[in-house]
Amino acid sequence: MKVRRERDARQKLARLGRLASDEEGIPNNGTKAREASAFDSGAGEETLLDGAHHTRGSKSLLVMKAKALQDGVHETEEERNLREEKELMRSITHRKALKTYQELAKGIEYSRTMPTGWKPPLRYRLASETENQSIREKFYIICSGNDIPPPVTDFKDMKFPPAILKVLENRGIRKPTPIQMQGLPVILSGRDMIGVAFTGSGKTTVFVLPMIMAALQEEIRMPLEGQEGPVGLIICPSRELARQTVEVIEGYTTALCEDGHPQLKCLLCIGGIDMKAQLDAVRVGGVHMIVATPGRLKDMLSKRRLNLDICRYMCLDEADRMVDLGFEEEIREILSFFKGQRQMVMFSATMPAKIKSFAESALVDPIEVNVGRAGATNLDIIQEIEYVKAEDKLPTILDALQKTPPPVLIFAENKRDVDTIHEFLLVKGVEAVAVHGSKDQEERSWAIDEFKAGRKDVLIATDVASKGLDFADVQHVINYDMPEEIENYVHRIGRTGRRGRTGVATTFINKDTSELALLDLKHLLQEAKQRIPPMLQALHDPTEELRGLESATGAKGCVYCGGLGHRIADCPKLRADTREQGRKNIDRFGRGGGGFGAEM
């Protein structure tokens, strides 16, 4: 009976987690003797429990954890920040590779690049690596990768047809820009590439001309028939950018056709346009090149109205913006329609590390070409910052419009402000048009065409017009408000100061502007050697206290958004993206996570 009582008591103690000695295999005869005497003297179970509790003492989990922390090596604040940044980067870069579903399922890996047969002239091939590197350093070109082709400093040496050279000359492009002299040889050689250069540096020419040459080569070898094509594909984040890219391509293809070359067809595949007209172009004689937005292209491929059977060239323009807008899954589905390997190139003015590492998963032995720092502003832009109260912004716009002759671009964060500014300027007699996402495609296209043709003096827009659009004659950009993300600021002011011309960017700030955005702006102005107003100079800069962290990571500023005034742990864009992801992941019908708890 006594043995049974003792066994029952010990089992109860084990359930309570107080028999650490026996669980760890450590003999404790003294304790057992005290427990036995407690039973013998009739002290009962309560005495035994108290004795076991005193025996465990510091074996409590909380005490053990505290002792371990006390005995361990103390982390400095800098080491803790470094560890947190590494953990954050590991979590945000851990994404599914940007490959087709078939390649992911079967583990298909491509190790060789796509052959094109293009080679630079002999004198470039015979040049030493030291000579090539001196040219790159002269034009601030930073390259990384294996077997990088030499930079070619003349369009004639790139072996383009005379018709294309004539178009370039008519557009005032006589010498290649830094991104063109290194980027064009890389793509013409068949290599995958990530291209990063400041706004207005001629990135569109870099990915358009190789696609035209690939389509021309295919048409000469074996002309396309109905329902065939495309040979090349360009994906853009906005309809306006896609339309502009098609206009650039058609300028070259028209000149080639007039010079006796085969006619090359380019299809604009975007939403807001009747799909039947797009399908008719494919049905009659096939199509050589397609410029598309992700949604409409995925729709046409899913309905089998298009195929990518012979497509061997794909470009993602403003690649970081497409991932930010949530087109990642659409791009992966589009890739699944390819029948084999394709040459892939990606371009943007801002390419944060988190996008770059993700993009590289889709590329084969890629070459990265940087002209300056990713996310830096164009040095041809004069940046002016003005403190303006919210109620004084509209009258101040009229004063700002007097700085330069038209055309002028005005950017605002939300659609309501765009409509308010538009109505105010019309009342004041200013010839203005407005563009934002709530307007239909026909009205948006008309507004941009009127502005480009010079029939309207002012274009008011949200950030839909800030990515990649080329307004050659714009001398002045006005930011009605400072965007939360510094990337959007860089793209906005990049609509001026293009093709080597000087531009002006005026930005309104006030007490409603977030401090992190102002810190990013301050560092951007310092980098571009611009005048920093007193209100920005007075801001406390926490990054000055984190110089050791900067040297330890080798990264300046935030690696998530590219802002120089904060680190990734304080990134507003990361917080916003995390909230958005959490909102998307809510189970609307499950009992957990705030769902409705209903049964389907």
Cα gap 499→473, rounded to integer Å: 10
Q: What is the mean pLDDT of the chain?
A: 81
**347-358 confidence digits (pLDDT tens):** 887 776 666 666
* Distance (Å, whole) CA 101 – CA 104: 5
Q: State the SS3 of 153-175.
A: CCCHHHCCCHHHHHHHHHCCCCC
- Cα separation, 42 vs 36, whole angstroms: 10
CA 314 – CA 301 distance, rounded (Å)? 15
What percentage of the chain exceeds 90 in pLDDT? Answer: 40
In the numeric block, which tokens belong to residue 13?
């103690």
Q: What is the pLDDT of residues 50-103, one digit of tens each?
A: 444 444 444 677 777 677 666 655 666 666 766 776 676 666 655 566 777 677
Q: Which two tokens stand for residue 302?
A: 């899913």
Q: What is the pLDDT of residues 456-500, one digit of tens each?
A: 999 999 987 777 677 878 999 999 999 988 888 988 998 888 877
Q: Which residue has the higher pLDDT, 264 or 15?
A: 264
Mean pLDDT within 226-230: 83
What was the pLDDT predicted at 548? Answer: 60
Chain center to CA of 248: 24
Confidence of residue 375 (pLDDT cuts 50, 70, 90): low
Burial class of residue 446 (count of CB atoms within 10 Å of its CB; 0-12, 13-18, 19+): middle
Q: Which of 195, 116, 196, 198 shows the shortest CA–CA distance to 158? A: 116
pLDDT tens per residue across span 582-595: 666 555 555 444 44
Cβ proximity of 236 and 242 under 8 Å: yes
Domains of the chain by range and CATH?
2-71 (no CATH), 110-371 (3.40.50.300), 381-513 (3.40.50.300)
Residue 421 has pLDDT above 80, yes or no: yes
Three-state secondary structure along 170-222?
A: HCCCCCCCHHHHHHHHHHHCCCCEEEEECCCCCHHHHHHHHHHHHHHHHHHHC
Structural tokens at position 363? 């590329």
pLDDT, greater one: 327 or 420: 420
Provide the pLDDT for residue 320.
78
Which pLDDT score is estimated for 447? Answer: 92
Please say if the pLDDT value at position 596 is more than 60.
no
Is residue 207 scored above 60 in pLDDT? Answer: yes
Report how far residue 311's alpha carbon sits from residue 282's, in angstroms, rounded to the nearest whole number: 14
* Residues 209 and 168 sit within 8 Å (Cβ to Cβ): no
What are the tokens at 479?
Answer: 């930011």
Q: Which of 139-153, 460-474, 566-580 comes out lowest in average pLDDT? A: 566-580
Say if residue 176's pLDDT is above 80.
yes
- pLDDT at site 352: 67
359 vs 181: which has the higher pLDDT: 181
- Give dist(CA 231, CA 67) in Å, integer: 66
